[in-house]
Amino acid sequence: MVQRDRRGFLKLVAACNAALAAAIAGFPPLLSFLSPLFRRDPGVTWINLGDVGRFEPQTPVQVDFVRTARDAWVETRAVHTVWVYTEDGSRFVVYDARCTHLGCTYAWRKDGGVFECPCHYGRFDPRSGAVIGGPPPRPLDRLETRVDNDVLYAAFKET
């Protein structure tokens, strides 16, 4: 039987306490580092944009909606905006309301008949979403749409 002196015993207890403290302190950063491996993709959410009769042909309509996101015990709500455009009242185009240049929110310029971003004056055609002026590198982002029972839905995915 090995007999330890008091100093050896205290060294062993100190080493065990240090290892335990390191494990406790290192566990949250390790979980944070590995958490993307276990996160589920929220996927696409179909957002109810309203009755198709509310959208007047050739006039873009801004639609705001609230999305709730949960991360562990934290629940956040964010307001998102889309623009709905229809030429004839039966086919709809829904655009994400963020400019493709820097993500600013653009607005409808009734007098010019275009979407315009106030940050760097990017301008977009309401029919196609194409860039017609300014620095945006690509057209507006379009969302997939469907109509069920005269209600317009758009597929929204947080980016």
Q: Within this chain, do residues 26 and 6 fall inside the same structural domain, yes or no? A: yes
Q: Which residues of the chain have pLDDT under 70?
A: 1-3, 40-43, 158-159
3-state SS of 28-67 is HHHHHHHHHHHCCCCCCEEEEEEEHHHCCCCCCEEEEEEE
Residue 44 is predicted with a pLDDT of: 76
Q: Within this chain, do residues 28 and 102 fall inside the same structural domain, yes or no? A: no
Q: Within this chain, do residues 19 and 74 fall inside the same structural domain, yes or no? A: no
Residue 47 CB neighbour total at 10 angstroms: 19
Domains in the chain: how many in total? Answer: 2
Q: Within this chain, do residues 85 and 147 fall inside the same structural domain, yes or no? A: yes
Q: Within this chain, do residues 125 and 151 fall inside the same structural domain, yes or no? A: yes
Q: Within this chain, do residues 14 and 74 fall inside the same structural domain, yes or no? A: no
Residue 18 is predicted with a pLDDT of: 93
Q: Within this chain, do residues 2 and 69 fall inside the same structural domain, yes or no? A: no
Q: What tens digit of pLDDT does each residue of 6-45 get?
A: 888 888 899 999 999 998 998 888 888 887 777 766 667 8
Residue 67 is predicted with a pLDDT of: 84
Residue 95 is predicted with a pLDDT of: 94
Domain that holds residue 97: 45-156
Residue 33 is predicted with a pLDDT of: 82
